[in-house]
Amino acid sequence: MTTDQVQFLSHLEQLLAQLTSANPDSARIRTATTTLKAQFFCKPACVPALVELLQNSRDAQVRQLAAVELRKRVATFWSQVDEASREQIKRALLQCILQEPENLVRHSTARVISTIAKTEVPAQRWNDLVQFLHSCCQAPTAGHREVGYYVLFTLFDVVGNTFAEHAHDLLGLFARGLHDPESKEVRVTTLQALGRLSDYIEPENKRDVAAFRELVPAMVSVMQQCLNENDEESADLGFEVFDSLLQNVGFRNTFWKCGECFVGPSDMVVWPIPLRFPGGSVPFQVHRRDCRFLPVDRGEYARRR
């Protein structure tokens, strides 16, 4: 690293630290923001510099802000970074996300990876990314599994069509994630990822439809675990998945027969979901307000229909 690069990096870290200070000063924040825009974030050199801070800054807040800004600058400057540096950055990010101790920084880094993947994966310039994620998802360390599943989840936002080609393999991987013995984060993230994957499964693809159907009971089980633990935030994420499944017409017709809501006791919004288990159909009411799955009496279900 040249003297100019060292000075550029040092000044950049100082400015980011000012923005994340525990004792913020409005005037200093305005000055730092103006300087960052005028002297740093207008240059492609900010991309490798932000990666360096994401890897090596001792301040977690600086690392977090570096990741947030890096995602923005990658979208603007990635094509202007030389090929050797791009390859180095991709390797550094994969190493960095596994070593990062802070969950929020890991998630922000995952978003950086997915932003780069939006360009690199379709162009087949990051072919080892999928294998890296598969290895993470099957790693003995829970933190590595959390990284693998979360990055996969974020990738559906940017390269879902590409990943749809591997739907059957992903369903096998997600089956493991739903039953992760240590990490609820893995289980919930897998549930979210399955919601995204469902958008890319064609009803005519009987093999993938059957594989997805086999996972539905485990998806319900993950929801039930969150509800039993009063984890409303994770339960809400799960409800969003089932909401999206009910909005997917082709998917809804394949797995269950209804998608409308009706109003239950105390004005609770209820979705009747008859889940098709391998041994038959079991209707469930998804009670959104008090967060409960309840078996539905088949006679009552038929009358409501």
What local confidence, expressed as pLDDT, does residue 226 receive?
87
In a domain, 264, yes or no: no
Considering its fold, how many domains does the chain have in total? 1
DSSP state of 296: P
Asked, for residue 231, whether it belongs to a domain, the answer is no
Domain-located, residue 142: no
Q: What is the pLDDT of residues 49-77, one digit of tens each?
A: 999 999 999 999 999 999 999 999 999 99
Q: In this predicted structure, what is the pLDDT of residue 266?
A: 35
Mean pLDDT of the 84-110 span: 97
pLDDT at 235: 84
Residue 216 maps to a domain: no
- 11 is a domain residue: yes
Full residue range of the structural domain in which residue 92 is found:
1-77+85-131
- Domain assignment present for residue 55? The answer is yes
Under the banding of pLDDT at 50, 70 and 90, the label for residue 161 is: confident
Type of residue found at 20: T
Residue 175 lies in a domain: no
**Mean of pLDDT over the chain:** 83
- Percentage above 70 pLDDT, the chain: 81
CA angle, residues 288, 293, 296, in degrees to nearest 5? 110
Place of tokens 């290895």: 135
Q: What is the pLDDT of residues 256-273, one digit of tens each?
A: 443 333 333 333 334 444
Residue 234 tokens, joined: 């994770």
User: Would you state the pLDDT for residue 236?
Assistant: 85
- Give the strands of the sheet with 280-287, arranged side by side: 262-263, 269-277, 280-287, 292-295
The answer to whether residues 188 and 236 touch, using CB atoms and an 8 Å cutoff, is no
Task: State the sign of the Cα–Cα–Cα–Cα dihedral 49, 50, 54, 60.
Answer: positive
Length in residues, the chain: 305
Q: Which of the 8 DSSP states describes residue 37?
A: I
pLDDT exceeds 60 at position 298: no
- What CATH number corresponds to the domain at position 71? 1.25.40
User: Does residue 15 fall inside a structural domain?
Assistant: yes
Is the pLDDT score of 35 beyond 70? yes
